Amino acid sequence: MPVPETMLQGVWGIVNLAGAPIARRWTAAYRQEIFRSRVETTRALAGALSSGGHEVQVFLSVSATGYYGDRGEELCTESTPAGRDFLAQVCAAWEAAAQEAASRVRVVIPRLGIVLDRRAGFLPRLMPAFRFFVGGTLGNGQQWVPWVHWSDVVGFVLWALRTPAVQGVYNVVAPQPVRFRELCQLLGRLLRRPCWLSVPGWVLRLRYGALVQALLSSQRVIPHRAHAEGFRFQFPELEAALRAELSGETKA
């Protein structure tokens, strides 16, 4: 799917967020859609940027911490190699497609963790169970969760676009990853609800198919490059981030 040259006229920077939703049942056909919607779209944009004839200076194309796969207790920085599961392969191909534009423009690839936002994504899916007193963990809850508040994602994007030295891959996650059980227990406490259930893997597989592997993966990821290069998170701690979303207030 070629990108018309007219789409790039007068454009200084591009932020590429394209990709089919992850949080639904993974059939064989939908796995292909997850891959195609990310890799082919990004490759088309990178191809248009590589051809010249435009004024685009920076191409920010998101990826995800799914790049690392299931790493157990290992601490993951940007130099940690890719995992071997499906989502890791998608992320590796996604990032490679974006890098095809690097000969012409500055390429920035944020590997996003689980974004905390009361309006969409992870939190709205998790909170109803707690509100109905059936909150709990997925699996044993010991897996590490790389999370980030949505306002820090926005902050990073603006910082990356405005800072010429920012280039390459960055982990965009809060500096303090937590275990899934800790996240659920804190959410329960803030909602004044119990956190007592544990949903076993086989039940998750019935509902989500192959997605269960990603749901139970452990990724202890830190934002090494972002910290080293001067980016500061508004919400480095989970409790403050959850309180902000549950109250509907942020510092943004």
Give the C-alpha separation, 71 to 45, whole Å: 31
Phi, psi (degrees; rounded to nearest 5) at 142? -85, -10
Residue 251 has pLDDT above 60, yes or no: no
Residue 35 lies in a domain: yes
Query: Comparing 5 with 216, which gets the higher pLDDT?
Result: 216
Q: What is the predicted pLDDT for the residue at 240? A: 95
Mean per-residue pLDDT of the chain: 89
Tens of pLDDT along 148-178?
Answer: 999 999 999 999 999 999 999 999 999 999 9
Residue 239 lies in a domain: yes
Which residues are 179's β-sheet partners?
144
Residue 149 lies in a domain: yes
Tens of pLDDT along 221-249?
Answer: 999 999 999 999 999 999 999 999 998 64
Residue 63 lies in a domain: yes
Residue 252 lies in a domain: no
Say which amino acid occupies 39. V
Residue 199 lies in a domain: yes
- Give the domain extent around 140: 5-247
Residue 75 lies in a domain: yes
Phi, psi (degrees; rounded to nearest 5) at 64? -150, 160
Tens of pLDDT along 31-60?
Answer: 999 999 999 999 999 999 988 788 999 999
Tens of pLDDT along 92-149?
Answer: 999 999 999 999 999 999 999 999 998 888 888 877 777 776 777 877 889 999 999 9
Each residue of 120-131: b (16+ CB within 10 Å) or e? ebbbeeebebbe
Q: What whole-number percentage of the chain has pLDDT above 90?
A: 67
Residue 78 lies in a domain: yes
Angle, CA 228 vertex, CA 84 and CA 159 arms, to 5°: 90
Q: What is the predicted pLDDT for the residue at 169? A: 98
CATH label of the domain that carries residue 107: 3.40.50.720
Domain count across the chain: 1
